[in-house]
Amino acid sequence: MEFVMRLKIFINLGVLTLLLAMPFHAAAKSPEAGLQTLESVMINVVEGRSIFSFGDLGYRAADLLSPVASTRVRFSVPPGLRLVSGGEIELHYDLLITGADSGNLVNSSNPYAGNLIISFNGKIIGTVNLEKTGSNTVRLQIPDDALVSTEQDGSYLLTISLSAQFSCVSDINTMITIKPTSFFDLPFETSAPELDLSNLPAPFYLNNSFAPDRTLVVLPDDPEALVVEAALDVMAGFGSMIDDVYDINLVTRAQLSQADLDSSHMVFVGLPVQLDILSNINFPIAVANGQFVNALPDAAEDGIVQLAVSPWNPNKVLMMVSGNSGAAVVKAAQAVSAGGVFVFENPAIAYVSSVQSISDAIPVVEGFTFQNLGYLTNTLSGIGVFSTEYMFKVSKEQVSGNDGYIDLVYYHSGSLSYGSSTMSVDLNGLLITSAVFKEETEQVATLRIAFPPGALRFGENQLRITASMPYSQSCDSSGLSSPWLIVSDQSLIHLPSVVEGGPSVPLQLDLSFYPDLFTTHSDLGDVTFVLPKSDVTSLRIAGALAYNLGDAANSRITSLKAVYADNVPQDVRDKQSMIVVGRSSTLPFLSEINDSLPAPFDVSTDTASERQMQIIYRIPEGVSVGYLELIASPFNADKSILVVSGNNESGLLMAGSVPIENDLANQLAGTFAVTNGKQVATGNGSSLSSIVGQVVPNAETIVSTPIPTSVTGESVTAGPPAWLMPVLVGSGLIIVVVMGFMIRSAILRSRPQNSEDDIEESDD
Kindly indicate the confidence band of residue 23, based on its pLDDT and cuts at 50, 70 and 90. Answer: very low
Residue 105: what pLDDT? 60
The CA-based angle 55-57-58, given to 5 degrees, is 65
Homologous superfamily (CATH) of 49-190 is Galactose-binding domain-like (2.60.120.260)
Kindly indicate the confidence band of residue 101, based on its pLDDT and cuts at 50, 70 and 90. Answer: low
Q: Calculate the average pLDDT of the chain.
A: 82
More confident residue, 621 or 459: 459
Residue 36: what pLDDT? 24
Highest mean pLDDT among 219-228, 395-404, 413-422: 219-228
More confident residue, 325 or 506: 325
10 Å CB burial of residue 136 (0-12, 13-18, 19+) is middle
Kindly indicate the confidence band of residue 472, based on its pLDDT and cuts at 50, 70 and 90. Answer: low
Instruction: Report, as an integer, the average pLDDT of 60-89.
Output: 89
Find the range with the poorest average confidence among 93-107, 315-329, 531-545, 681-695. 681-695
The ranges assigned to domains in the chain are 49-190, 197-352, 367-494, 511-703
pLDDT digits (tens, 9 = 90+) for 128-163: 998 888 999 999 999 999 999 888 778 899 999 988
Q: 197-352 in CATH: which number? A: 3.30.379.10
Quick one: three-class SS letters along 113-129? Answer: CCEEEEEECCEEEEEEE
DSSP state for residue 606 in the 8-state scheme: T
Residue 747: what pLDDT? 57
DSSP state for residue 358 in the 8-state scheme: P
Quickly count helices (H) and strands (E) in the chain.
12, 40
Homologous superfamily (CATH) of 511-703 is Chitobiase/beta-hexosaminidase domain 2-like (3.30.379.10)
Find the range with the poorest average confidence among 192-206, 500-514, 641-655. 500-514
What is the fold of 367-494? Jelly Rolls (2.60.120)
Instruction: Report, as an integer, the average pLDDT of 276-299.
Output: 91
- pLDDT at residue 39 is higher than 60: no
Instruction: Say whether 511-703 and 367-494 share the same fold.
Output: no
CA separation for the pair 399, 378 (Å, rounded)? 27
More confident residue, 549 or 170: 549
Instruction: Report, as an integer, the average pLDDT of 536-563.
Output: 94
Contacts made by residues 501-505, CB under 8 angstroms, sequence distance 24+: 502/400, 502/401, 503/400, 503/401, 503/402, 504/400, 505/400, 505/402, 505/453, 505/454
Percentage with pLDDT > 90 across the chain: 51
- pLDDT at residue 693 is higher than 90: no
Find the range with the poorest average confidence among 402-406, 515-519, 711-715. 711-715
Cβ count near 506 (within 10 Å): 14
Q: Is the pTM of this model over 0.85?
A: no
More confident residue, 328 or 413: 328
CA separation for the pair 535, 646 (Å, rounded)? 13
Residue 623: what pLDDT? 85
Residue 608: what pLDDT? 87
More confident residue, 114 or 86: 86
CA separation for the pair 316, 263 (Å, rounded)? 8
CA separation for the pair 310, 330 (Å, rounded)? 24
Which residue from 392, 645, 656 is spatially nearest to 548, judged by alpha carbons? 656
Percentage with pLDDT > 70 across the chain: 78
Q: Where are the beta strands (DSSP E) in 156-247?
A: 156-163, 173-178, 183-190, 215-219
Residue 402: what pLDDT? 82
Cβ count near 760 (within 10 Å): 9
Residue 714: what pLDDT? 41
Contact 264, 215 (CB under 8 A): yes
- pLDDT at residue 720 is higher than 80: no
